[in-house]
Structure 1
Amino acid sequence: MTTGITGTQRFVLAMVCAVAVSTIYAIQPVLEKAGGDLGLGGGSLGWLVAAGQIGYFAGLVALVPLGDVVNRRKLIGAQLVLTAVGAGMVAVAPNGVVAFAGLVSAGVFAVVVQVTVAYAAAVSAPEERGRNIGAVTSGVVLGILGVRILAGVLGDTIGWRAVYALLALLCALLASIVRAALPADPRTGGAHYLRALASMARLVRTDRLFVTRGLIAFFLFASFGTLWSGLALPLGADPWNFGSTAISLFGFAGLAGALGAARAGRWADSSRAQTITGWSLTLLTASWLLIAQIEPTLWFLIMGIVLLDFAVQAVHVSSQHLLTTAHPTRASMVIGAYMSFYSLGSALGALTTAWAYSTWGWAASCLIGAVYSLAALLLWAATRSRLAARAEPVLAAH
């Protein structure tokens, strides 16, 4: 029986999401500083950014199904402790290999975000479920933006390792708070772990809507990762030579774009999810024309960032709307599987943008980002008519 959660408990759950996701993104604004300290060349920097996403993908596949099997409150605490261990490894890493291992480890257990959202839904009273899920998931946006600023400031003052030491401490602290402050998981029993994995595999093999939306997410976040994983490289070089703090402030432009797409869910409610996807992917592709103009002014770059993040968030919300409507009884598993495409795409973007920049410069990185977004647009166009018959009537019925 659900008894609801208090405002304080909502805040704790949002902080779990914010701190956990921060361990994946904290490396981006201090990428050059970390690479130099760890003895990594320019072409290898992408692996530092990709490491967290690689780990996150593994966690989505192997660990998220555990949320349907074991006590979620205990699982959240355990995953936070293990995330703290991974972040601690990065903070004391003597070389790139240890840093990579720590980032992968932190990424694996950062999927505590998905478990936390499922837990919030389970303990919420029915009339508060949507509000609570929205409040908890807002922690993800807060973490992605906040850690860019925090890492930038610490990177310019104490050193880039300080942010990972702080994140390790916060994860450990939250683990103890979760156990003491949150209500018990109301379930009396869970699904079988192997059965949950089999259901995920069957979804990938047989569900055309899921596969199409997953592949769109793969290219979508490869394009997104190309920007955010590589932006610190040209901004830290001539003629700008910005420090970590200044680079981190560009995250506000991304936040403005993402928040601007808040109405995408309402548009999707009106059976326009497929249409939203098409024009948003078109806008995403066009945004790279602005992002590539990094000299002599940064205003074109800023406008491009706003448009890119608006488009990415609009497509992301529309995809989740379509998938949860098509699979209302197994929404957590479907979203977990869908997010695996997101993590792989983000990792690909991180790897290719660092390689392209070190070889040919920022224009090459932008070209690769545009190619990824164009691939998503062409995939949407090729499958739209075939999937519209399935997806849109279902949405209309709701």
Structure 2
Amino acid sequence: MTNRTLSRGLLLLMSTATGLAVAGNYFAQPLLDLISRELALTTGAAALLVTAAQGGYALGLILLVPLGDLVERRRLAVILYALTALFLLVSATAATGPILLAGTVLTALTSVAAQVIVPFAATLADPAERGKVVGTVMTGLLLGLLLARTASGALSELGGWRTVYWVNAGLMLLMAVLLRIYLPRLHTRAGLSYPALLRSIFTLLREEPVLRWRAGIGALALGSFSVLWTALTFLLVQQPYGWSESSIGLFGLVGAAGALTATIAGRLADRGHVQAVTAAGTMLMLASWLPLAAGARSLIWLLVGVIILDLAQQAVLNSNQNVIYALRPEARNRINSAYMTSYFIGGAIGSALTSLVWVAHGWNGVVILGATLSAGTLALWTLERLTTRTPATPAAAATRPLIPAGR
């Protein structure tokens, strides 16, 4: 690495880059009805676009993110951003459902560049401010995830559902150029071959019980989150709402309120309150499904539930990351890979279950499913506290001895 300085401008660039990378996986959500009509897809087939995006992302987390512990990270990030731009063009020009599905999977696969940037920022950060830095970068990621819906809804009104894919392809190419110019070189040598590197992910899961607990909590949290955002489109296109795609996309602005908690949660983690943040997040996540249940007929309650769930999910994610990044600094990409793979597999399962539950039981079934997954996050956190000893702050990693990943 040639420069370890993390300036405010570089942090903003990294935050923006993560948001744009992850956004491509969520463009389809408010457009499912529109896409299904144009490409002659069933509701279930259209919902598979969401599942495919999360599944492709999980695959990229397993196969590509660990490369950050093997190759030079700036080069890896730039290549992945450029490939994501290319695959977005596949989606933009798709004439059939299978081609759009393929473009979605490939885009998701390489958009894990966002998860190369997050531990990159954590490594550049001062240990005492790592929670704040991770929170800032994750704010960008969550804003991209949520505002993708707003952007896709608005752009679909201007030029059809394909427009957002064209626009994001251009932005991803721009990010590749900017990251190549401004990111410092960073190469942390794991001393392992690629197959051994992948095997070491499972070694880390086996040897770090806190990582296992947090991976489970994260999977259930994103599962619950995905239940809401997958079903929300179907709820809002029917009566009593009957909203257009652009109106549905505006719900992303409501959900973006949750992103504002990321830096706050990070600061609390830096001060040793990471467990309190997790506890509050899991409890609020479960409580959010009460107003969401009433949201089938009341827009006010629906808004309240969406805001609470987003706030809670972001608090859980940020506290989880601060805990796991404190475990083994020399294996941060592989730890992030293990955690985020579980995280997005949970999201993919949540989306897949939602399409089935919606068809069979409607919004009431969706609420029960989401609440059950949320209750699981609280149960797992309670079990973790009873069975393991979790580092209080990410700064603890600064004084913890480095342990070879293949011990």
TM-score normalised per structure 1: 0.89
Q: Which residue of 1 aligns with 2:304?
A: 303
Classify the secondary structure of the residue corresponding to 2:185: coil
* Cα deviations by residue, 1:100-159 (Å, 9 ceiling, x for unpaired): 111110011011112223444556788997776555444313322332221011122311
Q: Which residue of 1 aligns with 2:157?
A: 156
Structure 1 residue 332 corresponds to structure 2 residue 336: no
Q: CA deviation at 1:71?
A: 2.1
Q: CA deviation at 1:303?
A: 0.7
Q: Which residue of 2 aligns with 1:391?
A: 390
CA distance in 2, matches of 1:13, 1:7: 10
Q: Which residue of 2 aligns with 1:24?
A: 25
Change over 3 Å in CA distance of 1:343–1:294 after alignment to 2: same
CA distance in 2, matches of 1:347, 1:172: 27
CA distance in 2, matches of 1:315, 1:293: 24
The answer for unaligned runs of 5 or more in structure 1 is: none
Q: CA deviation at 1:329?
A: 3.6
Structure 1 residue 166 corresponds to structure 2 residue 167: yes
Change over 3 Å in CA distance of 1:120–1:153 after alignment to 2: same
Q: Which residue of 2 aligns with 1:248?
A: 249
Q: Is the 8 A contact 2:138 2:318 kept in 1?
A: no
Classify the secondary structure of the residue corresponding to 1:231: helix
Q: Is the 8 A contact 2:130 2:394 kept in 1?
A: no
Structure 2 counterparts to residues 1-398 of structure 1, below 5 A: 1-2=2-3, 4=5, 9-120=10-121, 135-179=136-180, 181-187=181-187, 191-192=191-192, 193-260=194-261, 262-269=263-270, 271-387=272-388, 390-391=389-390
Change over 3 Å in CA distance of 1:256–1:125 after alignment to 2: closer
Q: Which residue of 1 aligns with 2:405?
A: none
Report the number of matched residues: 395
Q: CA deviation at 1:214?
A: 0.8
Q: Is the 8 A contact 1:26 1:151 kept in 2?
A: yes
Identify which range, 229-238 or 31-40, moves more after superposition.
31-40
Matched letter for residue 28 of structure 1: Q
* Cα deviations by residue, 1:174-228 (Å, 9 ceiling, x for unpaired): 323433x225514385643333222211012232211111111111110000011
CA distance in 1, matches of 2:394, 2:197: 26
CA distance in 2, matches of 1:308, 1:184: 36
Q: Is the 8 A contact 1:3 1:125 kept in 2?
A: no
Change over 3 Å in CA distance of 1:246–1:280 after alignment to 2: same
TM-score normalised per structure 2: 0.88
CA distance in 2, matches of 1:146, 1:293: 24
Change over 3 Å in CA distance of 1:372–1:120 after alignment to 2: closer
Q: Is the 8 A contact 2:139 2:262 kept in 1?
A: no
The answer for unaligned runs of 5 or more in structure 2 is: 398-407
Q: Which residue of 1 aligns with 2:402?
A: none
* Cα deviations by residue, 1:242-262 (Å, 9 ceiling, x for unpaired): 112211222222222342464
Classify the secondary structure of the residue corresponding to 1:326: coil
Q: CA deviation at 1:374?
A: 1.6
Matched letter for residue 391 of structure 1: T
Instruction: Report sequence identity in percent.
Output: 34
RMSD: 2.7
CA distance in 1, matches of 2:104, 2:307: 28
Change over 3 Å in CA distance of 1:3–1:225 after alignment to 2: closer
Classify the secondary structure of the residue corresponding to 1:351: helix
Q: Is the 8 A contact 1:19 1:171 kept in 2?
A: yes
Classify the secondary structure of the residue corresponding to 2:229: helix
Q: CA deviation at 1:234?
A: 0.8
Classify the secondary structure of the residue corresponding to 1:292: helix
Q: Is the 8 A contact 1:119 1:185 kept in 2?
A: no
